[in-house]
């Protein structure tokens, strides 16, 4: 991205999150600082329970930090906003609506004229290759297809930031590879700032410009690795020597944290 001006889009400042429950307090995050640049693709990896989803939920505005704050374009995040689109592992589609209706939902909420809503929805349905299924209901689709609808729906809202929590986690390896490739293509066409959580180090290295490794709970940022592999990337990138080197390095660090949890 030579020559492009880089601007901070998301600031995570000294974020701490405690959950208070009947069995005591869990410190999920403690002292997380991170700047994410506009149009950047950041992947977050770390052992289970290290606070990845907690951080995403704070960025989405679904949870409040106990202390510290997160900002979008310098403004503190409180509550949800269409500027921040979220895709979870379990596709949250409306079962009573067709693919087209699900994807049109966001533009309709913005009170755009119906023809325009349809045009926007169809553009993103095409983008995820589901143009032949726009009249289908979620129950008539496979898991991968439903997740594609969820991604199309997130894009149709035209968010400035996409927050994705293991969006491909429930899919088989082939579907997952296909959706990774589609997501890469989409990101290159229509750059959005992406914050993407995954357990899969391969996936993180394939997609991200930077991989953020979190430490075992309470979650902190352990290290940030620049993925200096040029785009466009595709599944063949996974056999590049540099890919394998970065993957081994990150995998080892995540494994060390996993061992910490097991101690
Ligand atoms: N709503 C909640 N109430 C109480 N504790 C919670 C809540 N949500 C998360 N936690 C705790 O906070 C810690 C971090 O959880 P979080 O879901 O953020 O981890 P994660 O890194 O996303 O894990 P995974 O990789 O398994 O999805 C865990 O110890 C979890 O038990
Ligand atoms: Mg999680």
Residue-wise pLDDT for 243-260, tens only, equals 999 999 999 999 998 888
Residue 151 lies in a domain: yes
The residue-averaged pLDDT of 236-241 equals 97
Question: Where does the pLDDT of residue 4 fall: very low under 50, low under 70, confident under 90, or very high at 90 and above?
Answer: low
- Checking phi first, is residue 117 left (phi over 0); if not, alpha (psi -120 to 50) or beta? alpha
Which residue spans within 101-260 are E strands per DSSP?
Answer: 161-165, 193-197, 210-214, 221-226
Residue among 18, 22, 51 whose CB has most ligand 1 atoms within 8 A, to mutate: 51
Alpha-carbon span 209 to 38, nearest angstrom: 12
Cβ–ligand 1 contact at 48 (below 6 Å): yes
Domain that holds residue 96: 92-158
- pLDDT at 2 exceeding the cut of 60: no
Residue 22 lies in a domain: no
DSSP state of 235: G
Residue 222 lies in a domain: no
**Helix (H), strand (E) at residue 85:** strand 84-87
Residue 233 lies in a domain: no
Q: Quick one: pLDDT at residue 5?
A: 67
Tokens of 155: 């894009």
How much distance in Å is there from the Cα of 48 to the middle of ligand 1? 8
Residue 149 lies in a domain: yes
Number of domains in the chain: 1
> What is the model's pTM?
0.93
- Average per-residue pLDDT for the chain: 93
Alpha-carbon span 165 to 56, nearest angstrom: 7
DSSP state of 219: B
Residue 111 lies in a domain: yes
Cβ–ligand 1 contact at 26 (below 6 Å): yes
Minimum CA distance residue for ligand 1 atom 27: 48
Alpha-carbon span 217 to 234, nearest angstrom: 33
Q: Is the distance from CB of 167 to CB of 86 less than 8 angstroms? A: no
Residue 129 lies in a domain: yes
Minimum CA distance residue for ligand 1 atom 14: 51
The pLDDT tens digits for 131-183 are 999 999 999 999 889 989 999 999 999 999 999 999 999 888 988 998 899 89
Residue 153 lies in a domain: yes
């Amino acid at each position: 991205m030579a020559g492009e001006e880089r601007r901070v889009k998301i600031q995570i400042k000294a974020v701490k999150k405690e959950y208070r429950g009947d069995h005591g307090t869990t410190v999920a995050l403690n002292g997380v600082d991170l700047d994410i640049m506009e149009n950047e693709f950041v992947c977050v990896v770390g052992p289970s329970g290290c606070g990845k989803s907690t951080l995403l939920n704070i960025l989405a505005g679904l949870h409040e930090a106990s202390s510290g704050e997160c900002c979008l374009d310098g403004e503190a995040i409180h509550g949800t906003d269409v500027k921040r689109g979220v895709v979870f592992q379990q596709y949250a589609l409306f079962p009573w609506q067709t693919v087209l209706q699900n994807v049109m939902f966001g533009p309709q909420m913005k009170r755009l004229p119906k023809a325009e809503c349809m045009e926007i929805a169809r553009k993103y349905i095409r983008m995820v290759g589901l143009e032949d299924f726009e009249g289908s209901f979620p129950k008539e689709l496979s898991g991968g297809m439903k997740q594609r609808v969820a991604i199309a729906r997130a894009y149709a809202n035209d968010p400035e930031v996409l927050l994705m929590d293991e969006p491909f986690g429930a899919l088989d390896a082939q579907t997952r590879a296909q959706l990774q490739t589609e997501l890469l293509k989409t990101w290159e066409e229509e750059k959005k700032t992406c914050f993407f959580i995954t357990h899969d180090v391969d996936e993180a290295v394939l997609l991200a410009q930077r991989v953020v490794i979190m430490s075992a709970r309470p979650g902190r940022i352990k290290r940030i690795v620049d993925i200096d592999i040029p785009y466009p990337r595709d599944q063949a990138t996974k056999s590049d020597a540099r890919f394998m080197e970065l993957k081994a390095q990150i995998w080892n660090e995540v494994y060390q944290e996993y061992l910490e949890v097991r101690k």
